[in-house]
A and B are shown apart, each in its own frame.
Chain A
Amino acid sequence: MLFALFMPIATGLASMFQTTTVAIKIVNITGSMLISSALTTIVYKITVDGAFSYQMLYVDGLSAVLLSILAVLTFTSMLFSLSYMEKDLAHGHITFTMLRRYYGLFNVLIFTMISVLIVGNLGLMWVAVEATTLASAFLVAFYFNHSALEAAWKYIMVCTVGICLALLGTTLLYYAQVSVIGSDFQALNFLELKKISRSLDPTIVKLAFVFILVGYGTKVGLAPMHTWLPDAHSQAPAPISALLSGVVLSCAAYAMLRNLIIVQAVVNPEFLQYLLIGFGVFSIAIAIPFILVQHDLKRLLAYSSVEHMGIIILGFGIGTPLSIYGALLHMMNHAIVKSTLFYMAGVITQEYQTKNIARIRGLVSTMPLVGTMFIIAILAITGTPPFGIFISKFIIIGATFASGRVLLGAGLLLLLGAIFAGMMYYCLAMAFGPKPKYRASSVSVAKPALMAMVISVGLIIVTGLYVPTWLNNMLSMAATIVMGG
């Protein structure tokens, strides 16, 4: 576990002091491999013999779900970064020093995310979540051009404000804890809190949760606190966008969950359900107009992230074991699919020199493989069978119906239908249609990038028809944890 923590730091430092691109590449790819393997071993350990802890660190099934996501995405995004950054370097968008900084920050970001997932203490968790914001801020502002700076500024402003509220909430929670058992070393350790959660003061806890929900919700990208998200995602380098929407959002959701587990014991569950469902539906609804009328490819994907976060939160809001299972599964699927889409968006933007959808045409003829995978991924993200997201989405909606919220379920299906229409419209426009004049020859995509995409697309297709038993167990374990078991 410590190894997993230490690894990224080492890689980051190492890559800071390299002098040649190749060396950096080697260092980082090995580093990311090691990180992923470390995380995988942790996950494996959890699946084998349950939760375990080490001083302030604690992992269980719930963290395992997120950790496995992180394990996959660390590797693929690093893989993709190699070729992406190389091209940027070749195009002269960035200098070598910037390249070094990129890899350094990349690893810091990984580090912060890992720490979010493995600390056993709400306070430290807050610290770590805030740290992810700060680490990714410079990555968002990476190109330091006008729009990048603007995006970064909004990103950090909005998120920090939100996170401050979360801190307020945490403080109040701590206050509730202190007023039950005096301040001691176990402060804000969520296991302790869980033990005593019944005896906490409801009003304060409720107050705390409101702040926590809004605060972490900002980071999760729930409407109407999602405003930073499209800017940041559209301006960051593609691999970073992938990480942001794949893992960072999920990490924030994880932090929220940890609080939720404690809160739901004391606060009226109806209240919580209304809050979460409300935020979820609102996020989905808000995303629709921006997806229906959109000019920027990466913003399109960003808004779809908003939508999917909405679905996930809604899944948690429904609050039956099945729906939570679905929500967690959805988290995984979404992370994989969305990261792939951002990789492709990265390739496309690099090849076409624009993010403007209107100027991206004829993908299948310019780069057949990527184009095909792009269509597949879009179909997957819109929840078309036989891909993973359909399964999780179907579970969530089924749970919605099962919990008696028939109208909600039907409405949800309609909203998703509208989103499907929007996504498909732009997807077809980009994939088919006449080849643009200035793109005479068909291009070849670098091997590592291609590999990253192929891995993810493969995963998408597999998860659509086959949920392995260990994953199934892990998810059910996590679901029981979230249910407060």
Chain B
Amino acid sequence: MNILTILLLFTTLLLTRASELKTAVRIIAIQSLMLALACTAVGMETGEVQIYVAAILTVIIKAGFLPYVLMNIVNTLQHEREDHPILDISYSSLLACIAIVLSYGLIDQALPGAGSRDALATAVAMTLIGLLLIITRRQAVMQIMGMITMENGIYLVGLSVTKGFPIIIELGVFFDVLVAVMVLGILTSRLKLAGLSTDTSILKKLKG
């Protein structure tokens, strides 16, 4: 379990360093895979069926389908890279580390002795880093990455503190994530079709 959490953190940190979109997508895939593994691990602990189901769903949707879709989108947009993020790559990974520390602090402060400390801290850290990515990245795809990371983080929270939602809610959440990413993907490609760059920081027509 701990190894998994560490790996998760590692992938997340890696994500902050990725400037090539394809790499980012691959990292996300791996991250989701890790999540699925963590899920199964929890499943072994508790031995509830629904968690296995959740794990499978994770593998299929988050590690398989979504990366595939995103990959296709990325392929359609050539020479779109995260060259000059709003916050420089090294700084953002630095911030990510700070976030990790913070989250450990927060966990100890807010809910001491809750479930597995590391997993929870990792989860919160992932959430924060996801937000960080959304805030500091220009590329639409990168922001999607950030969102998925966040989603994963929260999912991990659920996993680590409550051993997963009841299955029906679980399904709903998965469905939402799926649709959300799909919608975002479609919007991204539409942006491309509308002859715009997928650099979201230039979307400043609507203000005031």
Chain A residues within 8 Å of B, Cβ to Cβ: 56, 121, 123-124, 126-127, 130-131, 134, 137-138, 141, 144-147, 149-154, 156-157, 160-161, 164, 167-168, 171-172, 174-175, 178, 183, 185, 187-188, 203-204, 207, 230-231, 234-235, 290, 293-295, 299
Instruction: Please list the 6 inter-chain residue pairs (A to B) with the smallest Cβ-Cβ separation, ordered nearest first.
Output: A127-B172, A123-B169, A150-B203, A175-B161, A171-B158, A187-B166
CA distance A168 to B187 in the complex (A): 26
| Dominant secondary structure of chain A at its interface with chain B | helix
Cβ A161 vs Cβ B150 within 8 A = yes
Binary flags per residue of B134-158, CB closer than 8 Å to A gives 1, else 0? 1000001001000100110010011
Cβ B158 vs Cβ A161 within 8 A = no
CA distance A157 to B131 in the complex (A): 11
Chain A residues with CB below 8 A from B183, complex form:
134, 137-138, 156
* CB of B3 within 8 Å of the partner chain: no
Contact flag A123-B143 (CB < 8 Å), given A150-B203, A150-B205, A153-B191: no
Could you say which of B30-38, B83-91, B174-182 contacts chain A? B174-182
CA distance A188 to B167 in the complex (A): 12
Chain B residues with CB below 8 A from A152, complex form:
187
Contact flag A127-B176 (CB < 8 Å), given A149-B187, A160-B147: yes
Chain B residues with CB below 8 A from A294, complex form:
208
CA distance A300 to B169 in the complex (A): 38
Q: How far is the CB of B166 from the nearest CB of chain A, in Å? A: 4
Contact flag A153-B168 (CB < 8 Å), given A160-B180, A167-B154, A171-B158: no
Choose from A153, A171, A187, A293 the contact partner of B200 (Cβ within 8 Å).
A153
Choose from A130, A168, A185 the contact partner of B176 (Cβ within 8 Å).
A130
* CB of B49 within 8 Å of the partner chain: no
Q: How many residues of B contact A (CB 8 A)?
A: 39
Cβ A171 vs Cβ B162 within 8 A = yes
Contact flag A124-B206 (CB < 8 Å), given A134-B179, A203-B110: no
CA distance A160 to B173 in the complex (A): 12
6 sample A-B contacts, Cβ–Cβ < 8 Å, listed by A number: A134-B176, A151-B206, A153-B203, A168-B127, A174-B158, A175-B114
CA distance A56 to B114 in the complex (A): 29
Contact flag A150-B176 (CB < 8 Å), given A157-B134, A168-B157, A187-B166: no
Chain A residues with CB below 8 A from B127, complex form:
164, 168
CA distance A145 to B163 in the complex (A): 44
Choose from A123, A154, A299 the contact partner of B166 (Cβ within 8 Å).
A123
Identity of the chain A residue whose Cβ is nearest the Cβ of B191 in the assembled complex: A149
Chain A residues with CB below 8 A from B205, complex form:
146-147, 150
Contact flag A207-B172 (CB < 8 Å), given A137-B183, A157-B134: no
Chain A residues with CB below 8 A from B134, complex form:
157, 161
Q: How far is the CB of B104 from the nearest CB of chain A, in Å? A: 16
Q: How far is the CB of B110 from the nearest CB of chain A, in Å? A: 6
CA distance A299 to B205 in the complex (A): 13
Cβ B180 vs Cβ A130 within 8 A = yes
Identity of the chain A residue whose Cβ is nearest the Cβ of B179 in the assembled complex: A134
Identity of the chain B residue whose Cβ is nearest the Cβ of A127 in the assembled complex: B172
Known: A157-B143, A178-B161. 9 other contacts (CB 8 A): A123-B173, A146-B194, A156-B180, A161-B147, A164-B151, A164-B154, A172-B157, A187-B169, A207-B111
CA distance A422 to B111 in the complex (A): 47
Q: How far is the CB of B165 from the nearest CB of chain A, in Å? A: 6
Chain A residues with CB below 8 A from B180, complex form:
130, 134, 156, 160
Contact flag A164-B166 (CB < 8 Å), given A146-B194, A147-B206: no
Q: How far is the CB of A450 from the nearest CB of chain B, in Å? A: 30
CA distance A56 to B169 in the complex (A): 11
Cβ A168 vs Cβ B154 within 8 A = yes
Chain B residues with CB below 8 A from A203, complex form:
110-111
Chain A residues with CB below 8 A from B41, complex form:
none
Choose from B162, B169, B175, B190 the contact partner of A144 (Cβ within 8 Å).
B190
Identity of the chain B residue whose Cβ is nearest the Cβ of A151 in the assembled complex: B206
CA distance A147 to B207 in the complex (A): 11
* CB of B184 within 8 Å of the partner chain: yes
Chain A residues with CB below 8 A from B206, complex form:
147, 150-151, 154, 230-231, 234-235
* CB of B196 within 8 Å of the partner chain: yes
Chain A residues with CB below 8 A from B187, complex form:
137, 141, 149, 152-153, 156
